[in-house]
Every structure is written in C-alpha cells, then in structure tokens.
Structure 1
Amino acid sequence: MMQVNVGSPDKVDANVFLIDSSNTSHPTFRAWCAVESWALRNPHLDVWFLLTSHALDNTDLLASHLLHRYPNLRVARAPFRLFRGTPLLNLYNSYAWKAESAWPVNQLSNMLRVVYLWRWGGVYSDTDVVCLRPFTLPLNAVGFSDPGAANNAIMGFTRGHAFLMDLMEDMVKHYKPGQWGLIGPAAVTRVLQDWCGASTLAAQDGYKHLSCGNVTVYPRHYFYPLRVEAHHRYSDADSGNYFDKVNTQLHNQALRLPFSSFFLKFYIQDLYYQALRSQFFYQFKLHYTAIYC
C-alpha cells in the first residue's frame, strides 16, 4: 500500500482536480484513464487526483508509474477541514449526505469539487471525462448538457469566484437526501438561472454560447457531445473511425465517452499498455464497456 498524504496546491487557477470520494484504495482504470489524459495533455497545469482513502493499492505499480511519467501529477488525500469557513460546513458535519442518502459518494464529490475550486481555482473534471487536447478555454465557465440545463462534470473557475459562493449556498438551501443530482447539475442550473435570468436560460437550446456577467456557459458539444445511447459505437469494429469523425467535427476539448481499448491505445498509451499487463484488464473491459471513460 502507498500512503496517501494530505496535499494542497501551491498554484492559483492553474490546477485540474479529479476526485474519487468512494474511500477506495484501488481506483478503477476508468478513473486513471481520465487522470492520465489530463496530465498528458496539460503539462502546464498541476493535475490533482484527490482521494478520500488514506492508502492507495499500488500492487500493479500503476500509480507509481504514472507519477513517475507525469511530473505535473499529484495524488493526495482530501482533508475534510476544507469545509471550514464555507457554507457547506454544516451540511458536511450533519452527515445527512451520508446517513440519509442513497448516493453518499456522489453527494460528497459534489461538495468537494466546489470547495477545491473556491479555494484554489482551476478546472474540475469528473473521472469519466477525458481530455483530448490542451485545455485552453478561459475559466469561469460551465457547459450545457441539455437545453436550458448545465452540468457540473466539468467546471472551471478562478479562486474565490462569486458564482462558487452562490453555488455552495444553493446546495445547502436545496439539499434533499432522497433526490439525486439536487446539489450537483441541478444546483449549477439553479444558480445560472439567477445569474442569467430564468427565462433566458430556459430559452437556450444548448448549442450556443451564453454569457452571464463574467460566467460563460459553453455549448454542449464542448464538453458533452455524446449521448449515453451512443456508447455501442465505441465497442464495434468501426469504433476508431466513428471516434475520429466525432473528434474532427466537434473540435471538442474534453469528452465523456464509453470505455474502449481503441481509445486507450491511441489516446492514453501509457495506461493502455500498463492495463494490458494487468490480470484485471479483460475483466475491466467486460464490465465497463458501456460506462463513460
């Protein structure tokens, strides 16, 4: 086991945060896939893979290999004292998100991502999102995932941005343990309604930029160009051609897409060959074919 120590960024607004809040010591290849993609494409940014576990299983040497390969990669433990001085402190201390919710891992992740952006600034990315090219978009932005609705799977903000404070306050106000996403994508959408105007946001089809003060909502093809129903296209014999077509047409900087060995081999090569040597690789392919990576 590799001990995971608490770590804090020494850069402001030049960070990428990915979070595994499941308290596991063995993150999935799916998560490492996302982590490596961000470290590979963005050597100018510090990429933080934040865990709630105190230890990391390095039996397959994957973690040590990636840490050696990418000097901008950091693996650290997320200390819960981060909630001090934020509107989320009472919600976290109440443990309602854990004891009363069917999705405690998701609820904790929703809270942590906002706090990290608020304290240090940069980009947050879910661990089912891969970065295809250097991330050069200006900060203070989210993306449409559907008409009139935004998502929190990818967000970029400068440290201490007012939108993040409004977001934390909204999360506390609207939290209900029995509803998934209420303090996630729904919270981002609610705050955007305040910043942009509810009628203005509702009128958006999701395919155009929207500026609300100094916050930009990017068209859905920037971050969420693929629908869940398209996952099979990455698993058939022609998946490579389909992926190249989508990538060329949309010019996206990040993608939520299903796992495929084609993608790993040609876009995240180190992880592919490391996984190929692992006894878990083919089992992983079997179980995660239809899950974003």
Structure 2
Amino acid sequence: MRIIIKNNKKEMETVYNLIEHTNNNIIHDLFAIDTEKEKYFELLRKIEMKCKEVQARKSKKRERDVNEYRNNIHYPKLNIKKITLHYFISCLLQDKVYKEPYWIQTTSDGYRLVLLWKNGGFYFDTDVISTKKIPEENFLASVSSDSVANGVLGFQKHHSFIMDCMTDFVLHYNAGIWGNQGPTLITRMIKKSCPLPHYKKVQDFRCDARNLTFMHPSHFYPIHWTAWEKYFEVWKEIPTFEDSYGLHLYNYMNHKAKKMVVAGSNTLAENLFIKYCPSTYAFLIKKVKD
C-alpha cells in the first residue's frame, strides 16, 4: 500500500512539474507574441508617417510645377521636330478622335499622310475622276492663289514634307474646326517654306525648299468648290478640261443635296463617267435595268 502511495506521489510531482513547465512556456510565448506585435505596429506607424511625408512633398512639388507651367517659367513650348509613324497612328486611334464632329474627315486626313509616308505615290479622294497621267511625283494641288488642298496629293516615299505635316497634325491638333487637320494644315505647312504662287495663267510653280511643285487649280479643280453643282447640270457643250489631270466633284458639298449621276440625264457628271469611268458607268446602267 505504501509503495503504491509513494509511486502515485512521484507521478503527481512529475505531472505538476510538467504543468508548471508548460505554463512557463505559454507565458514566455505570449510575452514574445505581444513584443512582436508591438514591434509590428511600431513599424506600421513609422511607414505611415513616412508615406504622409512623401505625399506632402509630392503635393507641394506638383503644385509648384503647375504654377511654373502656367507662368511658363521652366516649361518652354514643345519643340518636337519628328514623330514616329507608330506614335502618329496611336494618336489617330484615340477614343477622343472618334467623338469629334468631323472625325471621318480627320481620320481620313491623317491616314492619307500615313499611306504617303509609308508607301509614296498618289492620293486621290474617292470623288476625283482621273482623266490623264500626272507628270509630277511630288506635288500639291492648288485650289486658288490662297490655298492648296489635300484631296489630291503626290509624294515619294518618306518625303520630309509629309513627316512635317504629320508632326504638325499632332502638335496643333484641333479637329473641332473643319479642315484644320487637312487642307488648312497643308496650306499652313507649305507657307513656312514657300509663298503660295499667284496664278495669272495656267502655270505650275516650283517650291525647291521642299522639292515639290504647286500645280495650277485647273489641273484638279477647274470648277471651283462654290460652283460644285455645275457637275450635275446639263451643258450645251461638254468642256474638254484639256489642262486637267483629274476632276474633283466635291462630294462633301453634296452631302445634303445628294445629287446623283443619273443614267440618261446628260449632265456633265454623267458624260464624265461615260468617258473616264466606263466600268463604273456600266455598273450604274446595269443597276438601273435591274
């Protein structure tokens, strides 16, 4: 009996010692956790204070930069001489372009510059009837002595004037004004290098500074845009347009009246289609018969 009691006492002492050891470990671990937690929160407070300091400095610098920009102290106007083709196209693809009132004309004005820069050749608006071979490679088509247009353009691949026009297109972008990215742009850019020719007779003029030719208005615009309806009238005698390489029918001016080339109408436009656009005219006739 005594042996059993003695053994139980030893076991109880062992259990008590184990409990006490375990309790001491728990207290130590809890203390360590609290210490680490305090270190963590202290570090968090320091990070937060540092962020506030950086934010305050950035805010002051931003405010200073804005004021300097407004006062034009350290920020002169951009003087970009060249842009990349990729950047130019990315500008054309921006959403804001397609919200402009003249977005169709604006994107068309831009992409014709892209095509001429990349590939070279001739660009004609779809409402231009080609009448004969053009003898020039690099040219602008004058509308009058006051302006040139971009409805017809001819340039070799990578011509510097086209790149300059693309640069101006981006830097002075204002598509809210009709023609600002097209004919007005072409006119203002060429005037930087050469004065616009004053036409007294059918004669072309060179602009050696840009290696191009000003072509007389009669070459593509023998009928002025203010008289565009004459193309849809019956003429007693059909003009020969012997000085013309192409004829611009001014579809933009016709977008409200919607005058058509009517088979059998004997209008100037129908006669031009018969002579210079036989395949198109044949399709027109077939469509009427069907």
TM-score for both structures, normalised by structure 2:
0.59
Conserved? CA contact 2:143–2:221, under 8 Å:
yes
Cα offset, 1:86, TM superposition: 4.4
The aligned counterpart of 1:242 is 238
Structure-2 residue corresponding to 1:94: 94
Aligned equivalent of 2:216: 219
Secondary structure of residue in 1 paired with 2:158: coil
Query: Contact 1:233 / 1:242 at 8 angstroms: preserved in 2?
Result: no
Distance 2:232 2:192 in 1: 41
Structure number with higher helix proportion? 2
The verdict on how the C-alpha distance between 1:162 and 1:86 changes in structure 2, with shifts beyond 3 A counting, is farther
Instruction: Tell me the amino acid that sits aligned with residue 182 of structure 2.
Output: G
Following TM superposition, by how much is the alpha carbon of 1:222 offset from its aligned partner in structure 2, in angstroms?
1.1
The answer as to whether partners of 1:142 and 1:152 remain within 8 angstroms in 2 is yes
Native 8 Å contact 1:206 1:219 kept in 2: no
Equivalent residue number for residue 161 of structure 1: 159
Give runs of aligned pairs for residues 156-195 of structure 1, distance below 5 A. 156-195=154-193
What is the aligned counterpart of 1:257 among 243, 246, 249? 249
Q: CA RMSD in A?
A: 2.5
Runs of 4 or more off by more than 6 Å in structure 1? none
Structure 1 residue 232: deviation in Å?
4.2
8 Å CA contact 1:146, 1:206 repeated in 2: no
Alignment partners' CA distance in 2, 1:98 and 1:271: 31
Relative to structure 1, is the Cα distance of residues 191 and 131 closer, same or farther in structure 2, using a 3 angstrom cutoff?
same
For 1:236 and 1:228, how far apart are their aligned partners in 2?
A: 15
Per the alignment, residue 204 of structure 1 pairs with: 198
Contact 1:206 1:220 in 2 (8 A): no
**Which protein has the larger Cα radius of gyration, Structure 1 or Structure 2?**
2
Rounded Cα–Cα distance in structure 2 between residues aligned with 1:231 and 1:191: 27
Residue pairs, 1:260-279, within 5 angstroms: 260-279=269-288
What's the offset of the Cα at 1:183? 0.8
Q: Would you say how many aligned residue pairs link Structure 1 and Structure 2? A: 188
1:88 partner SS = helix
Q: Following the alignment from structure 2 to structure 1, what is the Cα–Cα distance between the partners of residues 159 and 187?
A: 17
| Greater fraction of residues in strand | 1
C-alpha contact (below 8 Å) 1:144/1:206 kept by paired residues:
no
Alpha carbons 2:175, 2:181 under 8 Å: kept:
no
Contact 1:152-1:185 at 8 Å conserved across structures: yes
**Deviation per CA, 1:227-251, whole angstroms, max 9, x where unpaired?**
2344444444436x2333xx13xx2
AA aligned to 1:177 is A
Higher relative contact order (CA 8 A, sep 6+): 1
Secondary structure in 2 matching 1:186: helix
| Percent identity (aligned) | 24
Question: What TM-score, normalized by structure 1, do the two folds share?
Answer: 0.58
SS in 2 for 1:107: helix
Aligned partners of 2:118 and 2:157 also within 8 Å: yes
